[in-house]
Amino acid sequence: MKFTELKLHDQLIEGLGYMGFEDATPIQEAAMPKILAGNDLIGCAQTGTGKTAAFILPVLHKLANKSTKGLNTLVICPTRELAIQIEQEIQGFSYFTGASSLAIYGGGDGTNWEAQKSALTNGCDIVVATPGKLMSHINMGYVNFSNIEHLILDEADRMLDMGFVDDILKIIKKMPKERQSLFFSATMPPKIREFASKILKKEYDEISMAISKPAAGVLQAAYLAYDAQKAQLLTQLIDKNPEYESIIVFTSTKRKVADIMNAFRGKKYEVAAISSDYEQKQREDVLLGFRSKRIRVLVATDVVSRGIDIKDLNLVVNFDVPNDAPDYVHRVGRTARANTTGVALTFVNEDDMYKMHKIEELIESEVPKSPLPEGFGPGPKWDPSFRKKRAGHGGGSKKPFNKGKRPFNKKWRSGKPKNNG
């Protein structure tokens, strides 16, 4: 479907044309008519399919056709990175409509507080906010939600996982009951439906598209590797594939970020890291360098798995298997966005095999297991029940780290710098 078929405001169509958007994605085609009709909605679609445009374009259409007074639309999302991304997209879409927007999130130096206060009191057409920072303003007593017409929760499942339920409910109590409420998420567990029943009108629409599956353009593979093999495997794969110009390496812990960065020391290409330990300005600078292709490799925790939109991202590497199966979808969803193609590789040690098996159940397909490159020796054998068996005996194995068949690269291990972070 063409955007022109949706009968959007002429200025909005002009802006979309300027940005090179002509055809609506499936989630946009399915959701936008319902939102334009004023219906409450739960929309479920995988990462990278255009959910932001699906909920923002109808709002901008309505704003372009009426004069507004005060804050009209509130978008709530879980992380500062996602808030920034959504607000940037709003700026692009609304360039010719004159709609105003502002992102409100924590982690800054406080210099933006007055601008945020002004948006929440005197009025700004659209505010995109994280729950914690928004609650800080609400607790000051000056926030005015009386003119809110649209409430949008993006990445609703993630906000529930992060413990924002109480904050969101407190925020919603401050809003007019007569409003349009929209839920968008990449997964739709039962808890989302239960939560939605507290917020949405009884008669709401629901759209579910390709739930919890990576985009078709993602070429997935897994390497069965011991922990002692992973760092060398990572650097070798990147060194031998210069065509991958934009790469994200995901790990589950901040400590491993430092360890992975050590493995890249001495490389001729630029590598940078980002995690929740970084100050907001540092994170923004790193993301800017990565988007501009000055930084080739970004090492990150899941703090950015749902919060960035990078064009032409070639490769995603899961240095370890994420603890929650839906997080795999969000990690690999960083590549092959908007009908492009990309590669997603996952390193699976013996402890993570059961988690990898649960991911395959979730995405309803088997991730091919690639052999380790020549010279690495054998990796662990695939046994998807391995973790489950060990859990029944009080957790992990008590074998020494390098006992039995586990390879031990003395040169790499002995030369590994200590983690000072």
pLDDT tens digits, one per residue of 357-373: 999 988 888 999 999 99
Angle subtended at Cα 69 by Cα 63 and Cα 73, rounded to the nearest 5 degrees: 50
Residue 397 has pLDDT above 60, yes or no: no
Closest CA to 135 of 170, 182, 103: 170
User: Greater confidence, 404 or 264?
Assistant: 264
Closest CA to 333 of 354, 378, 302: 302
Query: Per residue in 55-69, pLDDT tens?
Result: 999 999 999 888 777
Closest CA to 328 of 299, 292, 284, 361: 361
Backbone angles phi, psi at 39, to 5 degrees: -80, 145
CA distance 115 to 118: 5
For residue 140, what are the contacts with CB-CB under 8 A and spacing of at least 6? 117
What pTM was computed for the model? 0.67
pLDDT of residue 38: 94
Dihedral sign for Cα 358, 361, 367, 372, please: positive
Strands (E), 90-239: 101-104, 126-129, 150-154, 180-185, 205-209, 218-224
Place of tokens 């920072």: 133
Query: Per residue in 79-132, pLDDT tens?
Result: 888 898 899 999 988 888 889 999 999 876 667 888 899 999 987 999 999 999
pLDDT of residue 340: 62
Dihedral sign for Cα 212, 214, 220, 223, please: negative
Q: How crowded is residue 191: how many other Cβ atoms within 10 Å of its Cβ? A: 13
Highest mean pLDDT: which range of 169-178, 205-214, 267-276: 169-178
Query: Per residue in 127-149, pLDDT tens?
Result: 999 999 999 999 999 998 999 99
Give me the mean pLDDT over the 184-189 stretch: 77
pLDDT tier at 213 (50, 70, 90 boundaries)? low
What's the start-to-end Cα distance of the chain, in Å? 51
Average pLDDT, the chain: 83
CATH 3.40.50.300 in the chain: give the residue spans: 3-209, 218-414
Structure tokens given for 381: 């054998």
CA distance 57 to 71: 17
233 contacts 376 by C-beta, under 8 angstroms: yes
CA distance 327 to 306: 9
Query: Per residue in 230-255, pLDDT tens?
Result: 999 999 999 999 999 999 999 988 88
Query: Per residue in 24-62, pLDDT tens?
Result: 988 999 999 999 999 999 988 766 678 899 999 999 999
DSSP state of 350: G
Structure tokens given for 208: 């579910």
**C-alpha 154: how far from its chain's center?**
10
Half-sphere exposure of 84 (CA within 13 A, CB side): 18
The CATH topology of domain 3-209 is: Rossmann fold (3.40.50)
Instruction: Tell the CATH superfamily of the 218-414 domain.
Output: P-loop containing nucleotide triphosphate hydrolases (3.40.50.300)
Place of tokens 């088997």: 366
